[in-house]
Amino acid sequence: LWGYWDLFVSPETMEQELLYLQENGYETIWFEDLSHVEDFEKPVILTFDDGYDDNYTELFPLLQKYNAKATIFVIPKAIGTPHKMTAEQVQELSRSGLVSIQSHTYSHGNLSTMDEQTLIFEMEQSQNYLAALTGQVPYAVCYPEGTRSELSIEVARRY
């Protein structure tokens, strides 16, 4: 139950939203499924940023209850810090078949002000860490706070 309050969704509201999706024939998919999105009648992607521990304690049980998929964009440098998931929790989510763990860059810095070398470090370190942790190479990156530049977009495409 951490993060920006204006972006926060309570467990009760999340459950209502998952129930709505289920009752109305929506299929939760991952970014990896976009290459064959035509296979889904009513696809929707659920995303959660930063890797807060409530993704494990509150969201994961709901995903299990509704057999719903979600993508969590994790900050590797923050794993195991207060209010963030532990490495073990990230691994369990990844193994569940319900959660895709993706990159939120290594340290969640402002990408619009970074030089190319720093951007490469952010993307590469995040990708390598998450691949080693989950056994899956991240497929997508979420720009921290939405910050980006033409250079950061170009570098992100390489990873």
Q: What is the pLDDT of residue 8?
A: 81
Q: How many CA atoms lie within 13 A of 81 on its CB side?
A: 11
pLDDT of 60 strictly over 60: yes
Average pLDDT of 7-11? 85
pLDDT, tens only, 16-51: 999 999 999 999 999 999 999 999 999 999 999 999
pLDDT of 6 strictly over 80: no
Q: Residue ranges of the domains in the chain? A: 10-157
Q: Please give the Cα distance from 84 to 107 (Å, whole number).
A: 13
Q: What is the pLDDT of residue 154?
A: 96
DSSP label at residue 145: G
Does domain 10-157 match CATH 2.30.40.10? Answer: no
Average pLDDT of 11-16? 96
Look-up: residue for tokens 């998929």?
Answer: 69
pLDDT of 159 strictly over 90: no
Q: Please give the Cα distance from 74 to 90 (Å, whole number).
A: 9
Q: What is the pLDDT of residue 1?
A: 52
| More confidently predicted of 5 and 154 | 154
User: Average pLDDT over the chain, rounded to whole?
Assistant: 95
Q: How confident is the model at residue 4 (pLDDT cuts 50, 70, 90)?
A: low
DSSP label at residue 42: S
The alpha-helical segments, DSSP class H, found in the chain are 11-23, 54, 60-66, 87-95, 116-134, 150-157
Q: How confident is the model at residue 64 (pLDDT cuts 50, 70, 90)?
A: very high
